[in-house]
Amino acid sequence: MSKGAEIDILDRKILTILMEDAVVPYTEIAKKLEVSAGTIHVRMKKLIDLGVVVGSQLIVNPTVIGYDICAFIGIFLDKGSAYSDARERMTEIPEIVELHYTTGIYSIFAKILCRDTNHLREVLNEKIQAIPGIQRTETFITLEQGFSRQINIL
């Protein structure tokens, strides 16, 4: 949310409904919240203009399409100034689905999805560790995702 963005309880209720299911028609939201569909349109435009809403996405179950390995990679850089170039190069690796510049022992923490352990090894050895400025990595394979959610805004 934009710093200082003014949103009220109606905005928060609209966002909560859409965060649960981004394809709910505005007319259905309007009925549920007892306002007009026009009100929902106006509110959503305002939320987009304020930068509160930055897009929407369809979530695909990676396991169903053959990506059985989810891993987190702790990445050590040679020096902090290597971050921008490393980040730019990592945007070209489609298996990296999240990337965070962090404090603590890792400079970068990445989430990757791979088909199997051979694919994971390939991504690590041939793509990530081949990037100039990356000193070494530590890999954590996920056994189960307990849950994934957005922040509760109500």
User: For the residues 79-103, what does the mean pLDDT come to?
Assistant: 95
Compute the chain's Rg from CA coordinates: 20
Lowest mean pLDDT among 29-33, 56-60, 101-105, 130-134: 56-60
Instruction: With beta carbons less than 8 A apart as the criterion, state whether 67 and 102 touch.
Output: no
Q: What is the mean pLDDT of residues 110-127?
A: 97
| pLDDT on residue 2 | 42
Intrachain domains 9-49 and 69-141 with the same fold: no
Q: Which is it for the CA torsion 106, 108, 112, 116, positive or negative? A: negative
Domains of the chain by residue range: 9-49, 69-141
Classify domain 9-49 at the CATH topology level: Arc Repressor Mutant, subunit A (1.10.10)
96-101/134-141 β-pairing: unpaired
Share of the chain above pLDDT 70, in %: 97
CATH level 3 topology of 69-141: Alpha-Beta Plaits (3.30.70)
Q: Given this model, what pLDDT does residue 117 score?
A: 97
* pTM recorded for the entire structure: 0.83
Distance of CA 20 to CAs 12, 17, 134, 148, Å? 12, 5, 38, 12
Query: What is residue 42's three-state secondary structure?
Result: helix
Which residue in this structure is represented by tokens 């709910």?
Answer: 24
